[in-house]
A and B are shown apart, each in its own frame.
Chain A
């Protein structure tokens, strides 16, 4: 347990900043100093200290002048995953291909958080183009897990997770195509939410797989996540898949629903446990921690039932057809013509493309681009892409059926806790299966959250994943928040970074 400044919640910072206990600039300097001392984690690609201090001073001024009228996140220092375009700052996507790409514009998420007064400390490390589950495929080298530096922080948003776990920022933006928010949150004992598809605009978030990508946040608590999610959600005319839906006031719904009149806070909520999430292949300690967490939800008043997701075994194969297919298309723009890496020597136009892309992309990205081009090729399209789309529908229908019996689903976020650096790098399929419980949620477009649920015998964090109905982030956040009021897993910090 720690009450160090850098492990305080956003709510606590916001109150202290408004009360004048410390200034935004002081808080920002505190995080910047920690960033400097924590380079060995390799969680960040670019530190924007000057810009951060300028934003902090602006926030101080706004708080002095407006007090309560200042943005909800005034002076809260964040880091942003390096696939969110940030004006005037390197936006590398963890790739050599974009090692020289200074974005001329801000992503929707960056705009919204900036408008709410947040301070941007740095851009965080990630698997190249978000393709990976360990942050080891980054051109900038692997990030390390603050809980055990010989282990991965998960991925692809591993840099964001490592930075928040190590107390280098109050929270972080992240993105999730198949588990890239939830899995690193689980590996680093954090709260990470992937909103429903369409809830948060993808404008300015460099695309990996457009029908699966969704921006979100990694934070210290459900309460912090709720605050951030409220700011980044909402319709954006620049993204045709963005939803014209009203954004619920998440922070004020954390205690809503049941509870009233002295009944337990989660009464009226039914939590389904998919039996496929507790089967073979799940580490004993992980299954036990998830089971205990479910019991905790029950103690809080929730009803527990078992449900089935019969097609969940198909999620990983289905995902690894559709995501590479879309990636092979989305990454076609990286051709060295207008921006990004370009081959220095080439014989002709084809040679130029081949060299530029061979040099610019790393091995995992190339593997997925090849798979993607293959499954879209005439003659294979029906057997792979169309078939995978049919499976996707079946997977979504599984969830719909399960939600006839319950309000949210719960299970382990990942089958195992954080693995060692290098352990799965040579075995892509093993790496892919690290996302076995998260892939299906993206395929169905549903919201999912991972929250700290204990530690295994090696002292590594275990994550509990909650999955909600489409657009029902509020129920996830409420269950997570009530769980966190009753437990202290989320308040623990890694020893070396306490």
Chain B
């Protein structure tokens, strides 16, 4: 491919489901996974005579997001109707914000691709706008014997559509932006960010232009990207497709394409000519959304420490490498866990290593979120303290970790019950060493003759004789002394 010749220009549109108890324009419940149509109130079904009323909680979450990306919050924003017919769109129109969105221009910082752990290399991605809108229901095309089922539980769920500037230049960068955005909305408690349940969905606009050019090329919009991996793969595929067209002298058509994850390819969905005329106009049922200073300031006061700031603080206060700091800080659960562990006295670097190693592996193995971890930050600190005071070996610590994880008891309880406490008494170890050396004169002679390999044999015997409880470092030291002394 001619990577040097063509530059990819990528912008993402992300639909984030807001974490509200009710729907965006009705108080009805809004839980995922309920039986079909059990969360469909009169408004969700678009019964004649029903009217939308703004759920201020959705507006509050939108403002919270806007403030977190340093955006201008529009004190007055408007709702418009976007018309099209589809069976899972009950009113025949979607209520959305068109000309006047609640959140104006802001930005999000991501780590540059070649980040070399020195904490620099941050790239600023522009966010054009974020607007409130309602979700549609779901059409179910399987299981109904040739017919389609309609589930309106999701109809009226609040969405925040976040539109980025075309500032992204590679599939990896697009994925990095998406990850940062995902972390942020979860961090803020704006969304649960669950991609399987559709709480975080992405469309990508991709175009190519000659390297160095300032004009944008013709773009294709790719829909249906519901995982970070798919976003990266679909964009890479699309860049390859467009490169091939341009290389062979062709022109890219402006169209909407659908990504098929099974085949790893995009295929045309509709062309520019087929584009709907949505007949937008201001929704006469909804007065403008007016937010006063007090509302906005209350949301500002309520903002948590943001991931970027937290990452920098972890680097500064705990001397963590940038990569580890980012991994911990960008996931609110990990960051909180880390702070609990260090507050309980754990060494920061050791805690970070354990969290990104043993703990992450256990969470993955059991399919748990860190908030659901059976072993808390304070308990991790306790285990690390036992290593530090030499009560247990690193190897035993892993055993303790797993036992606590399984709920077998507290840290010390398990250490005692399993007899994992190390023998740190030098005279006791010395006795064992002297006995083992005396019992194996042949091997001792070999060692002294220069056969260093035999040393391992002695370590094994001493450990065996001490029931595995002797502290290995001390064993090594005393063995050397005993063997080298004659």
Interface residues of A in 73-127 (CB under 8 A from B): 83-85, 91, 93, 98, 101, 103-105, 107
Of the candidates A210, A325, A349, A377, the one whose C-beta lies within 8 Å of that of B285 is: A210
Check if B49 sits within 8 Å of A325, measured CB to CB.
no
Across the interface, name the chain B residue whose C-beta is closest to A206: B48
Instruction: Give every chain A residue within 8 A of B285 (Cβ-Cβ).
Output: 207, 210, 240-241
A211-B284 Cα distance, complex, nearest whole Å:
5
Check if B81 sits within 8 Å of A329, measured CB to CB.
yes
Assess whether B414 is interfacial by the CB under 8 Å rule.
no
Check if A337 sits within 8 Å of B87, measured CB to CB.
yes
Across the interface, name the chain A residue whose C-beta is closest to B54: A240
Across the interface, name the chain B residue whose C-beta is closest to A350: B85
A368-391 CB mask vs B (1 if < 8 Å, else 0) is: 000001001110010001000000
A141-B280 Cα distance, complex, nearest whole Å:
35
- What is the distance, in angstroms, from B433's C-beta to the closest C-beta of chain A? 83
Assess whether A457 is interfacial by the CB under 8 Å rule.
no
Assess whether A335 is interfacial by the CB under 8 Å rule.
yes
Of the candidates B47, B87, B279, the one whose C-beta lies within 8 Å of that of A104 is: B47
Check if A103 sits within 8 Å of B83, measured CB to CB.
no
Assess whether B195 is interfacial by the CB under 8 Å rule.
no
Assess whether B91 is interfacial by the CB under 8 Å rule.
yes
Q: At the interface with chain B, which of A9-17, A26-34, A197-205, A486-494? A: A197-205
A495-B270 Cα distance, complex, nearest whole Å:
66
Assess whether A403 is interfacial by the CB under 8 Å rule.
no
Assess whether A237 is interfacial by the CB under 8 Å rule.
yes
Residue of B48, B277, B279 with most chain A CB atoms under a 10 A cut-off: B48
Of the candidates B49, B83, B93, the one whose C-beta lies within 8 Å of that of A206 is: B49
A103-B215 Cα distance, complex, nearest whole Å:
56
Check if A378 sits within 8 Å of B83, measured CB to CB.
no
Assess whether B46 is interfacial by the CB under 8 Å rule.
yes
- What is the distance, in angstroms, from B176's C-beta to the closest C-beta of chain A? 36
Check if B287 sits within 8 Å of A376, measured CB to CB.
no
Given A98-B48, A325-B281, A239 and B53 contact (CB-CB distance below 8 Å): yes
- What is the distance, in angstroms, from A370's C-beta to the closest C-beta of chain B? 13
Assess whether A326 is interfacial by the CB under 8 Å rule.
yes
Instruction: Give every chain A residue within 8 A of B48 (Cβ-Cβ).
Output: 85, 91, 93, 98, 101, 103, 206-207, 333
Assess whether A238 is interfacial by the CB under 8 Å rule.
yes
A209-B285 Cα distance, complex, nearest whole Å:
10
Of the candidates B51, B85, B150, B280, the one whose C-beta lies within 8 Å of that of A238 is: B51
Check if A337 sits within 8 Å of B150, measured CB to CB.
yes
Instruction: Give every chain A residue within 8 A of B296 (Cβ-Cβ).
Output: none
Check if B279 sits within 8 Å of A333, measured CB to CB.
no
Instruction: Give every chain A residue within 8 A of B47 (Cβ-Cβ).
Output: 85, 103-105, 339
Assess whether A332 is interfacial by the CB under 8 Å rule.
yes
Check if A326 sits within 8 Å of B85, measured CB to CB.
no
Assess whether A338 is interfacial by the CB under 8 Å rule.
yes
Across the interface, name the chain B residue whose C-beta is closest to A97: B48
Of the candidates B45, B53, B277, B280, the one whose C-beta lies within 8 Å of that of A240 is: B53
B75-107 CB mask vs A (1 if < 8 Å, else 0) is: 000000101010100111100000000000000
Give the size of the chain A interface in residues (CB under 8 angstroms).
44
Check if B284 sits within 8 Å of A240, measured CB to CB.
no
Across the interface, name the chain B residue whose C-beta is closest to A107: B49
Given A202-B51, A240-B287, A332 and B281 contact (CB-CB distance below 8 Å): no
Of the candidates B52, B53, B279, B286, the one whose C-beta lies within 8 Å of that of A376 is: B279
Instruction: Give every chain B residue within 8 A of A238 (Cβ-Cβ).
Output: 51, 53
A328-B51 Cα distance, complex, nearest whole Å:
16
A237-B55 Cα distance, complex, nearest whole Å:
11
Assess whether A353 is interfacial by the CB under 8 Å rule.
yes
A338-B286 Cα distance, complex, nearest whole Å:
24
A325-B286 Cα distance, complex, nearest whole Å:
16
Assess whether B3 is interfacial by the CB under 8 Å rule.
no
Instruction: Give every chain A residue within 8 A of B90 (Cβ-Cβ).
Output: 333, 337-338
Residue of B49, B54, B277, B281 with most chain A CB atoms under a 10 A cut-off: B49
Assess whether B216 is interfacial by the CB under 8 Å rule.
no
A338-B89 Cα distance, complex, nearest whole Å:
11
Check if B49 sits within 8 Å of A207, measured CB to CB.
yes
Instruction: Give every chain A residue within 8 A of B42 (Cβ-Cβ).
Output: 104-105
A93-B49 Cα distance, complex, nearest whole Å:
11
Check if B85 sits within 8 Å of A373, measured CB to CB.
no
Interface residues of A in 210-227 (CB under 8 A from B): 210-211
Instruction: Give every chain B residue within 8 A of A98 (Cβ-Cβ).
Output: 48
Instruction: Give every chain A residue within 8 A of B52 (Cβ-Cβ).
Output: 240
Instruction: Give every chain B residue within 8 A of A103 (Cβ-Cβ).
Output: 47-49
| Contacts between the two chains (Cβ within 8 Å), count | 98
- What is the distance, in angstroms, from A189's C-beta to the closest C-beta of chain B? 30
Instruction: Give every chain B residue within 8 A of A203 (Cβ-Cβ).
Output: 49-51
Check if A333 sits within 8 Å of B281, measured CB to CB.
no
Across the interface, name the chain A residue whose C-beta is closest to B45: A338
A122-159 CB mask vs B (1 if < 8 Å, else 0) is: 00000000000000000000000000000000000000
- What is the distance, in angstroms, from A185's C-beta to the closest C-beta of chain B? 23
Check if A240 sits within 8 Å of B85, measured CB to CB.
no
Instruction: Give every chain A residue within 8 A of B87 (Cβ-Cβ).
Output: 335, 337, 349
A339-B47 Cα distance, complex, nearest whole Å:
8
Across the interface, name the chain A residue whose C-beta is closest to B43: A238
A211-B52 Cα distance, complex, nearest whole Å:
14
A204-B91 Cα distance, complex, nearest whole Å:
15
Given A241-B285, A326-B284, A332 and B49 contact (CB-CB distance below 8 Å): no
Instruction: Give every chain B residue within 8 A of A107 (Cβ-Cβ).
Output: 49
Interface residues of A in 329-377 (CB under 8 A from B): 329, 331-333, 335, 337-339, 349, 353, 373, 376-377
Interface residues of B in 272-324 (CB under 8 A from A): 277, 279-281, 284-287
Residue of B42, B45, B279, B286 with most chain A CB atoms under a 10 A cut-off: B279
- What is the distance, in angstroms, from A113's C-beta to the closest C-beta of chain B? 16
Instruction: Give every chain A residue within 8 A of B286 (Cβ-Cβ).
Output: 240
Check if B85 sits within 8 Å of A332, measured CB to CB.
yes
Check if A85 sits within 8 Å of B49, measured CB to CB.
yes
- What is the distance, in angstroms, from B49's C-beta to the closest C-beta of chain A? 4
Instruction: Give every chain B residue within 8 A of A206 (Cβ-Cβ).
Output: 48-49
A238-B150 Cα distance, complex, nearest whole Å:
26
Given A206-B48, A237-B53, A333 and B277 contact (CB-CB distance below 8 Å): no
Check if A204 sits within 8 Å of B54, measured CB to CB.
no
Residue of B47, B81, B280, B286 with most chain A CB atoms under a 10 A cut-off: B47
- What is the distance, in angstroms, from B305's C-beta to the closest C-beta of chain A? 36
Of the candidates A332, A353, A377, the one whose C-beta lies within 8 Å of that of B277 is: A377
Of the candidates B50, B54, B92, B150, the one whose C-beta lies within 8 Å of that of A332 is: B92
A238-B286 Cα distance, complex, nearest whole Å:
11
Given A91-B48, A239-B51, A373-B279, A210 and B284 contact (CB-CB distance below 8 Å): yes
- What is the distance, in angstroms, from A220's C-beta to the closest C-beta of chain B? 27
- What is the distance, in angstroms, from A318's C-beta to the closest C-beta of chain B? 15
- What is the distance, in angstroms, from B19's C-beta to the closest C-beta of chain A? 23
Instruction: Give every chain A residue within 8 A of B81 (Cβ-Cβ).
Output: 329
Check if A377 sits within 8 Å of B279, measured CB to CB.
yes
A104-B47 Cα distance, complex, nearest whole Å:
9
Check if A338 sits within 8 Å of B53, measured CB to CB.
no
Check if B51 sits within 8 Å of A332, measured CB to CB.
no
Instruction: Give every chain A residue within 8 A of B49 (Cβ-Cβ).
Output: 83-85, 91, 103, 105, 107, 202-207
- What is the distance, in angstroms, from A498's C-beta to the closest C-beta of chain B? 36
Instruction: Give every chain B residue within 8 A of A211 (Cβ-Cβ).
Output: 284
Across the interface, name the chain A residue whose C-beta is closest to B46: A333
Check if B51 sits within 8 Å of A240, measured CB to CB.
yes
Given A241-B285, A326-B284, A335 and B51 contact (CB-CB distance below 8 Å): no
Instruction: Give every chain B residue within 8 A of A335 (Cβ-Cβ).
Output: 85, 87, 92
A333-B137 Cα distance, complex, nearest whole Å:
14
Check if B83 sits within 8 Å of A329, measured CB to CB.
yes
Instruction: Give every chain A residue within 8 A of B85 (Cβ-Cβ).
Output: 332, 335, 353
3 nearest CB pairs, A to B: A332-B92, A211-B284, A210-B284
For this complex, 20 residue pairs linking A to B, each with C-beta atoms less than 8 Å apart, are: A85-B48, A91-B48, A103-B48, A207-B51, A210-B285, A237-B53, A238-B51, A240-B52, A240-B53, A240-B286, A241-B284, A241-B285, A329-B281, A333-B46, A335-B92, A337-B87, A338-B90, A376-B280, A378-B277, A381-B279
